[in-house]
Structure 1
Amino acid sequence: MARSAFKNPFKFRKRVKIAPGITVNLSKSGVSATVGVKGASVNVGKKGTYLNTGIPGTGIYSRTKISDFGKSTKTDQYITDSQSSLSSLESIETTEQLIDTFPKLSFMEMSRLTHTRQVFLYKFPKQLQGYTHTLIENLSDAELKALTKSANVKSIYGIILISIFFGFIAADRFYLGNFFIGIIKLISMPLGIGVLWWIADIYFCHKIQQQKNYSRLMTYLGKL
């Protein structure tokens, strides 16, 4: 009994700073990396990616899990299924040609919709909003909210805010699952191109989220 109590009396943990804002964490459980500054950082390890935020000196701190490594989630399955289906469609005609056949929503038509419907449609690429509207036009606002949750359609405002406030540590790319691109973005931050990339991603990342939302919805509805 005494032996089991002293089975692991010591814990190994070491932090190695390899560059300004980049630290490698070594421990018995594995290796992880932390990128960022005090109050805003991203930790990447075998257990997943975490966004750490807080106000230095106040004790106010938040740790949010962004994604898991090595786990196949429903969201990942939606994207995989959608990409496979799009590949089969491209054997008949290109995606651009398909989009051209979809109905379009004019500004006036959009303005006549309820706020709930407008918010829902803005979560998808502009050129696909008309087609999406034809699929949900018979649903009530309550049913539309339920569909948003069931199909795992994400808010566009969320990714925009992440890009604005945490894009400098590539939190937006990690949130979208673009881990390799996120690491490259982090490395480029000390350079001038990193700042330009940060600004550009405020536009590009919300476009990527819109496309992911469309793939999830179409897969959920059985349209892909």
Structure 2
Amino acid sequence: MSQRRMNIYQLVINLGLNELEEYVTEIEDFLEQRLKSFDEWFEEKTKDFSEEDKDTYGEHLSDEYHKLADAFPTTFRSSMLLNIYSFIEKELNQLCFHYGNRKDIRIELNDLRDSGVIRASKYIDKVVGINFPHELTEWKLISGVYRELRNSFAHNGGIIREQGIQKMKEKISDLPVSLNERHGELKLEKEFCYKFIKDARIFFNEFFLDVDQSNQKLDGNEI
């Protein structure tokens, strides 16, 4: 059986996801090495200290350790959450414009009531007429909990209000995300960005399979 040939849009999207994944690896490795170097430096610096003096000196450096072990990774991962989500939304919007133009559709994306990825999915499905994988697990994550996480970090710094803590706890139970229930603070673990990118890749690949299966033609060319 011959391997299915990707169209240019799928190739571009996969390249973009690969670049995001490579960037995540570069920064995660860098942050991990910085922390490791700090630990090694501290152990060498205090090798002749008494335990009491070592603890005292460690307290003076606690802010630096906190930055490397927690603050920097947290800031990076939350910003990558926004970047990955924005990438998905941008690419879906571009696909809407492409398919709308190819079919000479007069209805604009902005004419639909919804916004973001939800609006794009409805445009592709209802206006363009391409079967959209609404029931795909990865799409449900993108349009569901990933969207909620994105909104939480974008608008509230990853803090969940008290009344929403239990529901969010249930939604993130299978994701590399932790939730401090006392403070309502979300924390993305190291594997989160990789998981998000993987789910985005699976979704787009499935979407383009659906495009193929729709077998819609324009002037003898696949849309």
TM-score, normalised on structure 1? 0.27
Greater fraction strand: 1
What is the TM-score of this pair, normalised by structure 2? Answer: 0.27
